[in-house]
Amino acid sequence: MRIVDLIEKKRDGGTHSRDELETLVGGYVRGDVPDYQMAAWLMAVCWRGMPPDEAAMLTRVMAASGEQLDLSVIGKPVADKHSTGGVGDKTSLVVMPLVAACGVPVGKMSGRSLGFTGGTVDKLESFPGIRLDLDAAAFVSQLRDIGLVITGQSADLAPADGKLYALRDVTATVPSLPLIASSIMSKKLAAGADVIVLDVKTGSGAFMRERDSARALAQAMIDIGEAAGRRVAAVVSDMSQPLGRAVGNALEIAEALDTLEGHGPPEFADFALELATMIVELASSGGAGRVEVEEALGSGAALQAFRRMIEAQGGDTAAFDDRSHLPSASLRRSIASDADGFVARLDALTVAHASSILGAGRERKGDPIDLAVGVVLQARVGDRVAGGQPLAVLHANDEARLDQAERVLRDAISLSPSAVEPRPVILERLLRSSADKPRFGT
């Protein structure tokens, strides 16, 4: 089979067989297919799309390109959660302990994030000493022993994705729905969970800006997961404003702990409870999940589950009792409203930009992150504020960055003289695969 024929087939809108996809992907991982041919094929996929069955096949071929975890030793359905990433998104740190406390084992491998704030794994580094490079054996044994584990993405899982993503990044072939869906789901399938809940964000601070694209991605991933025999559900959630109040790594850990203690921001706590409910109900095929999840929160069981996980991974848990053990910034500045009004806009992307100026995120792989810095919002869209009232507090370690971040943050916020109705956090729920499956486009 000649690679040029496969490129030609996709260029002309054809559909590949499993053998053809294995030849392409396997050949690329082994180094037999050169970058220029793979780049041409990826661009053809961008233009031509893929039918759902072909995208599902591609995903399985990518998942099979490396180690695939067998979680059958756990003896019950294991859950995983994935977010497409957003500003202030510390949801996994609350949802996973809630789910574990309901008796559903939950394990997640999480990538380090590029972009404005750190990913889940970066945030967890706020606990000194924590190990986030567990190998497959340690991942499975912690899942069996305490039912909760979060670690960095293993390079051994779906190595085809790592290689393909690096090529897509430099060949303008990232924004293709089947390629994004297969990239995300190949890692999820290889990590072995039976139940997968996806949080696809939409809005200025999200990868998928438009709601329609977010819904299409969510649906594509559900279809792929179900074709591989997994139970999958998704939400499309709002990322036009940050999630919760805290944006920045250690600040988000503090907010996650507050939420697990029962005094987090109400809209964030409710979102986490809803996602946890979806997971528990999918795992048990039952419908009383919300009561169970609220009980796990109210009794402190979820907080204890999170503590056990941090301890099991060698992290210092002093911050559970005293937040001053978290990394903390030397400078704080409160940003006050200069007028009376209602918060009409609190732009997620601009808040993220302010946070990144302070040093909370990274632009290039391997860049250092300042865990202590970020933004804590004091208001949300729809809130009424008076002139002089604080809108946000900036946490910084550098005066010049603080000045610059303040200027940017002020641009993130607009007031309206009349009342504003905020958007709900969950915009849509997608609970099963689409009956009629259109071709996945770009």
Residues with catalytic annotation?
Answer: 82, 161, 168, 183, 187
Distance CA 284, CA 287 (A): 8
Could you give the C-alpha distances from 383 to 220, 223, 350, 416, in angstroms and in order?
Answer: 36, 39, 19, 10
The residues, any chain, with a CB within 8 Å of residue 343's CB and separated by 6 or more, are 379, 380, 381, 382, 383, 385, 391, 413, 414, 415, 416, 420
101 vs 206 by CB, closer to ligand URA: 206
The full 3-state SS of 326-363, as one line of letters, equals CCCCCEEEEEECCCCEEEEEECHHHHHHHHHHHCCCEC
CB nearer to ligand URA: pick between 64 and 393 = 64
Quick one: which segment of 64-72, 172-180, 244-252, 258-266 binds ligand URA (CB under 6 A)?
172-180
Report the residue number whose CB is nearest to ligand URA.
Answer: 183
Instruction: Write out the two tokens for 328.
Output: 């903390």
What Cα–Cα distance (Å) separates residue 294 from each residue in 253, 262, 431?
20, 10, 21
d(CA 259, CA 302): 10
The CB-of-429 to ligand URA minimum distance in angstroms stands at 21
How far apart CA 347 and CA 240 sit, in angstroms, is 6
**Minimal distance, residue 21 CB to ligand URA, in Å:** 17
Q: Which of residues 257-316 bind ligand URA (CB under 6 A)?
A: none
CB of residue 153 to ligand URA, shortest distance in Å: 9
Task: Output 207 or 271, the one with its CB closest to ligand URA.
Answer: 207
Distance CA 190, CA 187 (A): 5
Q: Which is nearer to ligand URA, 217 or 394 (CB)?
A: 217
CB of 200 to ligand URA, least distance (A): 11
End-to-end CA distance of the chain: 27
Helices (DSSP H) in 102-135: which residue ranges? 120-124
Query: Which segment (41-49, 91-99, 176-184, 194-202) binds ligand URA by CB under 6 A?
Result: 176-184
- Show the binding pattern over residues 324-343: x = contacts ligand URA (CB under 6 A), - = does not: --------------------
Residue 84 or 126 having the CB closest to ligand URA = 84
Q: Using the Cα atoms of residue 115, residue 117, residue 123 and residue 126 in order, give the sign of their dihedral.
A: positive
Least distance (Å) between residue 251 CB and ligand URA: 24
* Residue pointed to by tokens 């695969």: 433
Binding mask 106-145 for ligand URA (x = CB under 6 A): ----------------------------------------
Out of 113, 183, 202, 337, the only residue in the binding site for ligand URA (CB under 6 A) is 183
Is 180 near ligand URA (CB under 6 A)?
yes
Closest distance to ligand URA from the beta carbon of 111 (Å):
7
Contact call for residues 237 and 425 (beta carbons, < 8 A): yes
Q: How far is the CB of 268 from ligand URA (least distance, A)?
A: 23
Tell me which residues in 31-90 interact with ligand URA (CB under 6 A). none
Please, which residue, 184 or 427, has the CB nearer to ligand URA? 184
| DSSP-derived pairing of the beta strands 413-416 and 341-346 | antiparallel
Question: Interface with ligand URA by CB under 6 A: which range of 28-36, 175-183, 302-310, 402-410?
Answer: 175-183
Our CB check for ligand URA shows the closer of 104 and 179 to be: 179
DSSP state letter for 428: E
How far apart are CB 37 and ligand URA at their closest, in Å?
20
Q: Are strands 231-238 and 195-202 parallel, antiparallel or unpaired?
A: parallel
- Of 178 and 327, nearer to ligand URA (C-beta) is 178
**Shortest Å, Cβ 184 to ligand URA:** 5
Q: What is the total count of residues that contact ligand URA (CB under 6 A)?
A: 7
Asked if 26 and 65 count as a contact pair (C-beta separation under 8 A), the reply is yes
- Cα distance between residue 265 and residue 422, in whole Å: 15
| Contact set for ligand URA, span 203-262 (CB under 6 A) | 207
The residues facing 238 across adjacent strands are 202
Region of 62-70, 98-106, 174-182, 335-343 interacting with ligand URA (CB under 6 A): 174-182
Q: How far is CA 385 from the centre of its chain?
A: 31
d(CA 9, CA 13): 6
Task: Choose the stretch contacting ligand URA; rule: CB under 6 A; options: 46-54, 173-181, 189-197, 312-320.
Answer: 173-181
Nearer to ligand URA, 180 or 402 (CB): 180
Three-class SS state of 208: strand
Residues forming the site for ligand URA (CB under 6 A): 165, 174, 179-180, 183-184, 207
